[in-house]
Amino acid sequence: GEGHGGISLLLIDRDMPGFSRGRKLKKMGWWASDTAELFFEDCRVPVDRLIGVENAGFIAIMSNFLAERLSLSIMAYMTAQLAYEAALDYTRQRQAFGRPVSGFQVTRHKLVDMATRIDIAREYTYRCAALMQAGRNPIQQVAMAKNFSVEVCEQVTREAVQLFGGMGYMRESVVERLYRDGKILSIGGGTDEIMKELIAKQLRL
Ligand SMILES: Cc1cc2nc3c(=O)[nH]c(=O)nc-3n(C[C@H](O)[C@H](O)[C@H](O)COP(=O)(O)OP(=O)(O)OC[C@H]3O[C@@H](n4cnc5c(N)ncnc54)[C@H](O)[C@@H]3O)c2cc1C
């Protein structure tokens, strides 16, 4: 059918005629999760493969988004937390100009900014989780949490790579991976821009 009232969810078996899988796509990050194109050509689906109610697929997808975006917000500040901890360890060990890199005031201030942002992202995300637990539907707050946490993730992972110096650019450093993996979070589950459109709508702007 047409528009969002014409979407239904279907269960497709891998060996169903008309369904095929394309090549595995090479990604910037998230290598632990394979991504490929899926093709549906004249794929006939038996009626018993309908998930939920016919034409109610859009509502099902939308109701899943709240939990998905909350998870992505958690993933974002936890990616930042891992990068922060790695940067803290490294700068305590690494010596430059006769002292640990963590001994420079500029390093301490960077670490303080990282810790501050992570803490605020975490606390706001907890607030969203509490609202959901109380049976509310905090669409606006969860979109805000996702965008804020993702921004924190991008800032913190970038600073962590910087604090590692040349080692931060090496594949063997965890911060190099976190920096690349974090990028998907501003795209998946709804992009930053779509989150802002959603927030604007909720604020009646
Ligand atoms: C590794 C990976 C895994 C994924 N996993 C899943 C998954 O499991 N399930 C799933 O359903 N999807 C998944 N996706 C898809 C993902 O949700 C989409 O890529 C994402 O929502 C953006 O859609 P798009 O790629 O079509 O971008 P487009 O819609 O083409 O957007 C391109 C650019 O235009 C901007 N834009 C688009 N519309 C507007 C607008 N109205 N106003 C302002 N700016 C706009 C976007 O923000 C973006 O910057 C995955 C993507 C990747 C890369």
Task: Say whether both 152 and 197 belong to one domain.
Answer: yes
Q: Please, are residues 117 and 155 in contact by the beta-carbon 8 Å criterion?
A: yes
Best residue among 26, 193, 195, 205 to mutate for probing ligand 1, ranked by most atoms within 8 Å of CB: 193
- Pairing of β 19-24 and β 99-100: unpaired
- Best mutation site among 194, 199, 201 for ligand 1 pocket (most ligand atoms within 8 Å of CB): 194
pLDDT band for 151, please (50, 70, 90 cuts).
Answer: very high
Q: Tell me the per-residue pLDDT of 83-92, one tens digit each, with 9 for 90 and over.
A: 999 999 999 9
Helix (H/G/I), strand (E/B), else coil: 19: strand
Number of domains in the chain: 2
**Calpha distance 40→49 (Å, rounded):** 15
Q: Which atom of ligand 1 is nearest to the CA of 192?
A: 47
Distance CA 57, CA 61 (A): 6
What's the whole-number average pLDDT of the chain? 96
> What's residue 174's pLDDT?
98
Q: What's the CA gap between 100 and 103, in Å, rounded?
A: 5
Q: What is the pLDDT of residues 166-179, one digit of tens each?
A: 999 999 999 999 99
Active-site annotation holds for 172: no
In terms of phi and psi (left: phi > 0; alpha: psi -120 to 50; beta: otherwise), the region of 82 is alpha
Kindly name the residue from 68, 85, 154, 176 that is annotated as catalytic.
68
The two three-digit tokens of residue 149, written as one number: 């946490």
**Using one digit for the tens of pLDDT, what is the confidence trace for 33-82?**
999 999 999 999 999 999 999 999 999 998 899 999 999 999 999 999 99
Residues 156 and 69 in one domain: yes
Query: Does 151 share its domain with 93?
Result: yes
Task: Check if the beta carbon of residue 78 is closer than 8 Å to that of residue 155.
Answer: no
Q: Quick one: 124 and 156 in the same domain?
A: yes
ipTM: 0.96
Report which residue type is found at 85. E
For residue 116, the enclosing domain spans: 62-202
Return the residue matching tokens 């891998």: 14
Q: List ligand 1's pocket residues with C-beta within 6 A.
A: 27, 30, 35, 184, 187-188, 190-191, 193-194, 197
For residue 43, the domain's CATH number is 2.40.110.10
On whether residue 56 sits in a domain, the answer given is no
CA of 190 to the centre of ligand 1 (A): 6
